[in-house]
Chains A and B, each alone.
Chain A
């Protein structure tokens, strides 16, 4: 079974139902980027609340090996406040398309990620609008750095040559879009609205908690021009933008922060 946007929230919601919370991953054979970063944030959030979670590891050797190669459990299964700085997996020139990368909230992090994404796309001869895709990564990371009020997030990029697809995912356990926007008195009323209302508002040009407010607008425009798709969850709701169609709905689990996956078809 694939773990994707469709079911990762249910797996997390199921995990906390019992007295001994257990993440049931035994039947998982494949992880989509959204699922991997969502799962990571779920674990990180739980651990920061002082809760622990047992894990039923995937029976599938490839899926299990994938998590091991990503240092998934070391990375997420404890409070990030306790991670020694030198153990943060910072971006280096050797970063491959398959790495999960910890990103810190710094002034230059968005540009660092943009450069890295661009390099990886060039090296792999991916046929797409490289500057545009790299800029989407940049804007997603910049949003985290500017608005999440969290020190650490995660970035993940996956190229699927057989499917002719690129997926980028960014996730944090920060304050989320609703809290961020409603801190601006102009949008204070959003505090009483569902999460999806705030999320959709954030895609409108010029809407922000402080200054600017063009990043998500540009991402939405790029999704349209590249025939892509965006999945965003914040709190207990999600927004999905599929070219020109926008849908929203409930997540089975109420996770703090913002988790996003953007994917595009690329030339074969």
Chain B
């Protein structure tokens, strides 16, 4: 299957909010069955976690199987890792040198809150 590269900013700009993520997912749908899709996230000023989560949640199986791959960078990798953990999926990534890798899962430990009588 051919790989079709899609610049995320061609789907929506800005790449924030859950509703924009939904919009991007809908615009992506014509490509999903025809191609392996590589979504290039690097040109967006900021890709929010909510946006990315919504986009990925629309295509959990395709993302998990590697039919959708993300061209990412270090900043975005940490967001992909969070999503991979919360949604229990494998997220396939590619760096600027076309080297493919799996976003590592992220073990979330809630902080231990400290009770305080003063607000200072």
Structural contact, A238 and B50, CB atoms closer than 8 A: no
> Within 8 Å of chain B (Cβ to Cβ): is A103?
no
- Across the interface, B119 reaches (CB within 8 A) one of A132, A203, A218, A240, namely A240
Chain B residue numbers with a CB within 8 Å of A114 are 14, 16
From residue A93, how far is it (CB to closest CB) to chain B in Å? 18
A-B contact pairs, 23 of them (CB 8 A): A114-B14, A131-B46, A138-B16, A138-B17, A139-B48, A139-B50, A142-B18, A203-B110, A204-B108, A205-B85, A206-B86, A211-B57, A214-B49, A214-B83, A217-B49, A221-B49, A240-B119, A244-B111, A245-B111, A246-B112, A247-B113, A247-B115, A249-B118
Residues of B within 8 A of A (CB): 14, 16-20, 45-46, 48-50, 53-54, 57, 78-79, 82-83, 85-87, 108, 110-120
Chain B residue numbers with a CB within 8 Å of A250 are 117
Structural contact, A215 and B119, CB atoms closer than 8 A: no
> Within 8 Å of chain B (Cβ to Cβ): is A42?
no
- Across the interface, B48 reaches (CB within 8 A) one of A6, A205, A218, namely A218
Structural contact, A107 and B49, CB atoms closer than 8 A: no
Chain B residue numbers with a CB within 8 Å of A247 are 113-116
For the complex of A and B, list the 4 residue pairs with the smallest distance between their C-beta atoms, beginning with the closest.
A206-B86, A131-B46, A218-B49, A214-B49
- A142-B50, A214-B49, A249-B119 in contact; A200/B16 too (CB < 8 A)? no
Chain A residue numbers with a CB within 8 Å of B53 are 212, 214
Structural contact, A248 and B50, CB atoms closer than 8 A: no
- A111-B14, A111-B16, A217-B82 in contact; A249/B117 too (CB < 8 A)? yes
Chain A residue numbers with a CB within 8 Å of B14 are 111, 114
> Within 8 Å of chain B (Cβ to Cβ): is A77?
no
Chain B residue numbers with a CB within 8 Å of A255 are none
From residue B83, how far is it (CB to closest CB) to chain A in Å? 8
Structural contact, A107 and B19, CB atoms closer than 8 A: yes
Chain A residue numbers with a CB within 8 Å of B111 are 244-246
Digitize A100-138: 1 where CB-to-B-CB distance is under 8 Å, 0 elsewhere: 000000010011001000000000000000011001001
Structural contact, A214 and B50, CB atoms closer than 8 A: yes
Q: Report the bound CA distance from A12 to B87 in whole Å.
A: 42
Chain A residue numbers with a CB within 8 Å of B19 are 107
From residue B19, how far is it (CB to closest CB) to chain A in Å? 6
From residue B104, how far is it (CB to closest CB) to chain A in Å? 15
> Within 8 Å of chain B (Cβ to Cβ): is A239?
yes
Structural contact, B116 and A249, CB atoms closer than 8 A: yes
> Within 8 Å of chain B (Cβ to Cβ): is A264?
no
Structural contact, A238 and B110, CB atoms closer than 8 A: no
Chain B residue numbers with a CB within 8 Å of A155 are none
- A212-B54, A217-B82, A249-B117 in contact; A204/B16 too (CB < 8 A)? no
Chain A residue numbers with a CB within 8 Å of B79 are 218
- Across the interface, B113 reaches (CB within 8 A) one of A138, A139, A196, A221, namely A196
Chain A residue numbers with a CB within 8 Å of B16 are 110-111, 114, 135, 138
